[in-house]
Chains A and B, each alone.
Chain A
Amino acid sequence: MKEEAALEVVDVSCVFRVNQGFMKGTKALHAVNGVSLKIPKGKVVGLVGESGCGKSTLANILLGLQKPTSGNVLYSGSSADSFSQRHIARRIQPIFQDPYSSLNATKSIKSIISLPLRVHRVGAPADWDRKVYEMLDLVGLPRRVAQSFPSQLSGGQRQRVAIARALIMRPEVIICDEPTSALDVSVQSQILNLLQDLRQELGLTYLMISHNLAVVEHMADRVAVMYLGRIVEEADAATLFRAPSHPYTKALLSSVLTPDPHLGVPDTQLGTVFPNPIDPPSGCSFHPRCAACMDICREQAPQPQINGAHMAECHLDTAAAG
């Protein structure tokens, strides 16, 4: 457990004021609600959860793009307040979901990949071209795409360009926000394997956000499960997939399609309603959808139960521990 954290958040919350319509005032939306997460150096941490649970908001906080309402972000142990955005940019870079909107359509590939070098004035301008070509080799693109524009490339090629742009400054941490969900299945595994190779070659640390459990299982050393702005379970990937303890994690795992067509579409027992984050349920925010809901769940929010490297936030564990 005592590994050095490349990146750490301590009890961060992010509250948005949401307009309720004309003259109705605003309401608080807790997109991220008291999350603590440690990303150890050189490891891959997976973050899973349904749409709207606050994964991207957490990623934005880590990237310094969103100021947390409260809590602390630590880069290698020092508080984010002592870093400028340019500092953060050199250590942490994002890869976004949609490679169609993450590349500026009016710029050439060369200009897109070299933008970080130009902004940070790294090295001599004469070297920039060479560095761009090196990156293209690294991500498996032919050098001649340097002159082309994003609209001339396929989705997978664009995502490779986005990866090249993220890596050209040699950052320590890459935040991948669903890096493959916008791609064809055949291309997905290529990109994931590329990310895997690059990690080994360059010693990178990843935060891998996904709602595809297969991706996380394949890539991650540690997995955090997020629900309605909170991390409800966190454990080593092997442990979590073998012995999940939170009912939400269990439901998520059971929702993965099995290869056997006779079993049909699995029943997640989750129902369809994701609760409104503006108006979260009382007690444990998962209780309306929980298969094992008890009386206490409706009234009292569970405290995190830490059992070795396994953390879960559920009254079942509290009962078992007590």
Chain B
Amino acid sequence: MIDMSLSPLRGQQTAEEILEPSPMSKLRRRIFKNHSFMIGAAILIVILVCALVAPLLAPHDPYELDLSKRLINPFWHDKKTDAEFMLGTDKIGRDYLSRLIYGAQISLLIGFSTILISGVIGTALGVTAGYFGGRVDMMVNFIINTRLAMPVFLVAMAAVVAFGASLHVVILVLGLFLWDRFAVVMRSITMQARDLDYVKAARAIGCSTPHIIIREIFPNVLSSLTVVATVEMANAILLEAALSFLGFGVQAPTPSWGLMLNEGREYMFFSPWLLALPGMGLFLLVLAINLFGDGLRDVTLERER
């Protein structure tokens, strides 16, 4: 039996007992130790800064063409180079470096606005389904399954045929279609969180349901949400490039990396850098996002352990 003779020890808790560092400082230390997170974040920041200060950084107007300076080679070639065009020019004489820099803007714009739209839709659906369960859950599951039955690519093509191809249409289609993973993940996490005692305690305190969902549960699922967001962002950027490459996405003369790949196609054998450079851009950006997401998952999962 329990020894009840122990004194209550009230007020005797000494300051030494709290030795654990704060969760924030522990998280910070883990972040600095996580290589994939740091590398991903570094590349991402470089690309982000390039995109943000593109007008200052780009040596030329990305739309300005000069037919007399077509297909100038980049600096590492020995023939037909021009100090003014470091990475050469494309088939109608536009500065390739400037177009690459502005292309980052398009890719990031697509990535961020897509996850903003799809994140809001998917999180709202998933959290609602997970918290309320039962009939609501069944309905949301039906919506998710309906969405999964529709191939994004075909829908995007159909939307382009119907509404014409433009940046807005691409963002809208991707945003309205890439929310399924958000919904599935948020649903299962919310379901687990719903049964935890802190939610029960909040209900016993008399918190309203929106308060519980937004203020109590949401901060706890935020880290998973960010991880899903990185996956979806990479996905959206690649989809935009693919759509633009096929002519169903961003339209010329907008400098999208996918579109630049398409435009460089005919010169694949004579000027391979026309393909290699935007391809590298895409590769680096997606790699950085995935590294960042992976690192983030490791860092935050460790916190929950």
Instruction: Pick the contact of B2: A92, A97, A189 (CB < 8 A).
Output: A189
Residues in A with CB closer than 8 Å to B9 are 140, 190
- Assess whether B206 is in contact with A186, with CB atoms less than 8 Å apart: no
- B12 on interface, CB distance cutoff 8 Å: yes
Number of interface residues of A (CB under 8 A): 60
Residues in B with CB closer than 8 Å to A60 are 200
- Assess whether A152 is in contact with B206, with CB atoms less than 8 Å apart: no
Question: Which of B14-22, B97-105, B178-186 touches A?
Answer: B14-22
- Assess whether A189 is in contact with B197, with CB atoms less than 8 Å apart: no
Instruction: Pick the contact of A89: B10, B13, B204, B219 (CB < 8 A).
Output: B204
- B8 on interface, CB distance cutoff 8 Å: yes
- A243 on interface, CB distance cutoff 8 Å: no
Smallest CB separation, B138 vs chain A (Å): 13
Residues in A with CB closer than 8 Å to B202 are 104, 115
- Binary contact track A105-122/B, C-beta < 8 Å → 1, others 0: 111000000011001100
Smallest CB separation, A300 vs chain B (Å): 38
A65-B204, A89-B204 known; A103 and B198 CB under 8 Å? Answer: yes
A98-B197, A104-B198 known; A194 and B2 CB under 8 Å? Answer: no
- Binary contact track B170-205/A, C-beta < 8 Å → 1, others 0: 000000000000000000000000001110111111
A104-B220, A106-B219, A149-B23 known; A154 and B198 CB under 8 Å? Answer: no
Nearest A residue (CB) for B197: A102
Residues in A with CB closer than 8 Å to B4 are 189, 192-193, 218
Q: How far is the CA of A194 from the CA of B13 in the complex (A)?
A: 13
- B207 on interface, CB distance cutoff 8 Å: yes
B contact face: mostly helix, strand, loop, or mixed: loop
A89-B206, A102-B197 known; A218 and B2 CB under 8 Å? Answer: yes
A89-B206, A98-B197 known; A152 and B22 CB under 8 Å? Answer: yes
Nearest A residue (CB) for B222: A106
- A25 on interface, CB distance cutoff 8 Å: no
- Binary contact track B211-246/A, C-beta < 8 Å → 1, others 0: 100001001101000000000000000000000000
- Assess whether B6 is in contact with A186, with CB atoms less than 8 Å apart: yes
Number of interface residues of B (CB under 8 A): 36
- Assess whether B2 is in contact with A141, with CB atoms less than 8 Å apart: no
How many inter-chain residue pairs (CB < 8 Å) link A and B?
121
A101-B197, A157-B13, A215-B2 known; A149 and B22 CB under 8 Å? Answer: yes
- A137 on interface, CB distance cutoff 8 Å: yes
- Binary contact track A140-162/B, C-beta < 8 Å → 1, others 0: 11101100110111100100001
Residues in A with CB closer than 8 Å to B196 are 101-102
Nearest B residue (CB) for A217: B1
Nearest B residue (CB) for A169: B205
Residues in A with CB closer than 8 Å to B151 are none
Smallest CB separation, B303 vs chain A (Å): 8
Residues in B with CB closer than 8 Å to A151 are 20, 23
- A322 on interface, CB distance cutoff 8 Å: no
Residues in B with CB closer than 8 Å to A193 are 4, 6-8
- Assess whether A101 is in contact with B10, with CB atoms less than 8 Å apart: no
What are 23 of the A-B contact pairs (CB < 8 Å)? A64-B204, A88-B206, A89-B204, A89-B206, A90-B206, A94-B201, A96-B197, A97-B197, A101-B197, A104-B202, A140-B10, A140-B11, A142-B13, A142-B15, A152-B18, A152-B22, A157-B13, A186-B6, A190-B9, A192-B4, A194-B8, A214-B2, A215-B2
A-B pairs with lowest CB-CB distance, top 7: A89-B206, A102-B197, A140-B10, A193-B8, A106-B219, A86-B206, A152-B20
Further 12 A-B residue pairs, CB within 8 A, beyond A115-B207, A116-B206, A142-B18? A94-B201, A96-B197, A115-B202, A119-B205, A119-B211, A137-B11, A142-B13, A152-B23, A162-B201, A190-B8, A194-B8, A194-B10
